Amino acid sequence: MVDLKGQYNKIKDQIDTAVIQTIESTGFINGPIVKEFSKSLEEYLGVKHVIPCANGTDALQIALMALSLKPGDEVICPSFTYVATAEVISLLGLTPVMSDVDPDTFNITAEIIKPLITSKTKAIVPVHLYGQSCDMEGIMNLADEFGLYVIEDNAQAIGAKYTFSDGIEKNTGTIGHIGTTSFFPSKNLGCYGDGGAMFTNDVEIAKNLKMIANHGQEVKYYHKVTGCNSRLDSIQAAILNIKLNHLDSYSSSRNKMAKYYDESFSEISELSIPKRQHNSTHVFHQYTLKILPELRNSLIDFLKENNIPVMIYYPVPLYKQEAFSNYVTSDFTITNVEELCNTVFSLPIHTEIENSSQEFITQKIKEFFNK
C-alpha cells in the first residue's frame, strides 16, 4: 500500500548519516535531537508545544490522562476508526460513546454528535480519517457550548490544513485542546519503528502531558501522579527530523495520485471517489473509495489476482467489536457506519509516484468494470 523502500532510497544519504551520528553520540534516549525535532514540528504546525511519546496510541492515552477525567465520564468518538481511538478511553475506565459519521467525508460532525451529549460527557475525540479534517469549527463551537475537551486524533492527517469561516487557517491537531499523532512507518510522517506525539497550545496541559509521559515526575524521583513511560527514541527523532522537511512534498505527491485516480474512475458509476471537504486540505493517508457492497469482494479478488494491494479500512464498526460489547446493546447498529464497513476499500497511495504502477492499477480497475 506504500513504497517505504523507494522513499528511503531518495533520502538514504541524509538518513544514514543522521542515524550513524545518533548511534555514535550514544544519546539513545532523550538526546538533543529529540528536542530539536519537537521544535521543528512546533514550527511546522504552528503550535506552542509538541511533546513526543512512544506511539500514537500512547499519545491518545496520555492526552486523556492529562485532563483529570473520572471513571464513568463519557468520551464521544467515531465508531468508524482505528481501534486505538476507543481503546484508550475504555482502558482508562472512561465510557466510549461511539458515534455515527458523515457517509461522504467519513468523519464526525457537530450535528451528528450533538444528540449524544449528556451530563456525563467530558470530551470529544474527532478523528481526521484518511487525511482530511473533521468540521472543526462546528465541533469546537459545540465543545465551547457544553464545556467539553477536544482531543484531535491526527494520526492520519498530519500536514492537513483546516480553514475557519473567518479565513483563519490552522493545521489539524492544533485546533482542539490537545492533538495527537502517530509516526508508525506507514503514516504520512512515519519513522522506522514506533513513535508518536502530542500537541497543545496550553502551557498547563503541556506540563501535564510531559509529566505523565515521564512516570508522573517533573523532578527526577519525585512522582506527582501515576504516569507511564512513553518516549520517542533519538534514532527515530533523527529520522523524523529529516523526513519532516519532505512532508509537504509527500502530501503533494499523494494528492497527484489521488487526482489521477479521481479522473480515471470518473466514468465508473459503480464507484464513488472520495469527497473533498471544502474547508480542509486532504493529505490522502488513504485513498478510499466506495463500491456497491455486492461488487466489493469480486473486485478485491480481481485486484489480488493481479497483485494489486487493496485494503479495507475498516471492516467492522467499533461497537461490533467484542472488546466494546459492554458499552452497547447487542442489537445496537448505525446504518451509515454499517454501510461504510461494507462498501469502502483503499488503493495504494505513494509518495514516489514513479514507482507506483498507478496506470496499471487504474487500467485493471477499468477492465473489471468493462470500461
Ligand X SMILES: *Cc1c(COP(=O)(O)O)cnc(C)c1O
Longest dimension (CA), the chain: 68
Sequential DSSP letters for 130-176: GGB---HHHHHHHHHHHT-EEEEE-TT-TT-EEE-TTS-EEETTSSS
* Residue 107 contacts ligand X per CB under 6 A: no
The Cα-based distances of 233 to 23, 32, 64, 185, 193 in angstroms read 11, 11, 22, 14, 10
Say how far apart CA 271 and CA 273 lie, in whole Å: 6
For every residue of 228-240, which 3-state class applies, written as one string? CECCCEHHHHHHH
Among 343, 332, 369, CA closest to 79? 332
Q: Contacting ligand X (CB under 6 A), which of 7, 38, 57, 362? A: 57
CB–CB of 201/176 below 8 Å? no
Residue placing its CB nearer to ligand X in the complex, 196 or 227 = 196
Sheet strands side by side (includes 287-291): 271-272, 287-291, 344-347
Instruction: Describe the crossing of helices 335-343 and 293-305 by its angle, rounded to 10 degrees.
Output: 30
Pick the piece of the chain touching ligand X (CB under 6 A) from 30-38, 79-87, 165-173, 255-263: 79-87
Residue placing its CB nearer to ligand X in the complex, 44 or 184 = 184
* Residue 87 contacts ligand X per CB under 6 A: no
Taking phi over 0 as left and psi of -120 to 50 as alpha, with beta for the rest, 212 belongs to alpha
Q: Measured from the CB of residue 188, what is the shortest distance to ligand X in angstroms?
A: 10
DSSP class of residue 107 equals S
Q: Contacting ligand X (CB under 6 A), which of 63, 84, 232, 257? A: 84
* Residue 283 contacts ligand X per CB under 6 A: no
Residue placing its CB nearer to ligand X in the complex, 49 or 285 = 285
Q: Contacting ligand X (CB under 6 A), which of 7, 79, 132, 156? A: 156
Residue placing its CB nearer to ligand X in the complex, 184 or 192 = 184
Q: Contacting ligand X (CB under 6 A), which of 79, 85, 99, 174? A: 85
Q: Contacting ligand X (CB under 6 A), which of 7, 22, 55, 174? A: 55
Q: Contacting ligand X (CB under 6 A), which of 182, 208, 230, 286? A: 182
Q: Measured from the CB of residue 134, what is the shortest distance to ligand X in angstroms?
A: 12
* Residue 284 contacts ligand X per CB under 6 A: no
* Residue 127 contacts ligand X per CB under 6 A: yes
By the criterion CB under 6 A, which residues form the site for ligand X? Answer: 55-57, 81-82, 84-85, 127, 153, 155-156, 182, 184, 194, 196
